[in-house]
Amino acid sequence: MILYSRRVHRHPRATRRAVLAACAGTGVALVAGCGSDRTGGPAPGPGADPTEPAVDADSDLVAEVAAELEAAVAAATATARQHRALRPLARRLASLHRSHLAELGRDGSVRPATAPPGPQAAARERLLRTEARLQRRLTAAAVEAESGALAQVLAAMAAAVAQQRAVAA
């Protein structure tokens, strides 16, 4: 008895090197198609970092975001002083915002605001509303940023605030 073997013709599998080369080629083609930035100016020259905007393009945005963060630190610090039960939450938020200020090149030393008198539940709600506003502002600032690197930092800050709000809820 003779057995015949059928040979199945398979297409050769793509190697890792071939896939990487194809991706690199696609990336080069996409970059070559981009001739100018949003402002209508010429594309940056070779060796330029595409995430870097013109010098000081985002300085006003950073100043606005820093002011929002400082206000949030002041509100959290005032809440921690007034309501003992809210101290863990308020201190955690203040610490987070101080680290965000440091990321933006600010020292993070903020004088606490005076918290309006009222019950603890109202103070907690006020603190969480402040955080919600800050999260929205950070998200909007990430979209407004000219620098890709700054946009990533601001988006990460918004995500951190969202996480703390979710934990507090």
pLDDT at 35: 41
pLDDT at 162: 96
What are the φ and ψ backbone dihedral angles of 42, each rounded to 5 degrees? -70, 160
Cα 102 to the center of its chain, rounded Å: 14
pLDDT at 7: 55
> What's the pTM?
0.66
What are the φ and ψ backbone dihedral angles of 36, each rounded to 5 degrees? -150, 165
Taking alpha carbons only, the member of 128, 133, 137, 124 closest to residue 166 is: 128
Could you report the average pLDDT of every consecutive run of 10 residues in the chain (169 residues)? 53 51 44 42 51 68 95 93 94 96 87 78 94 97 95 96 93
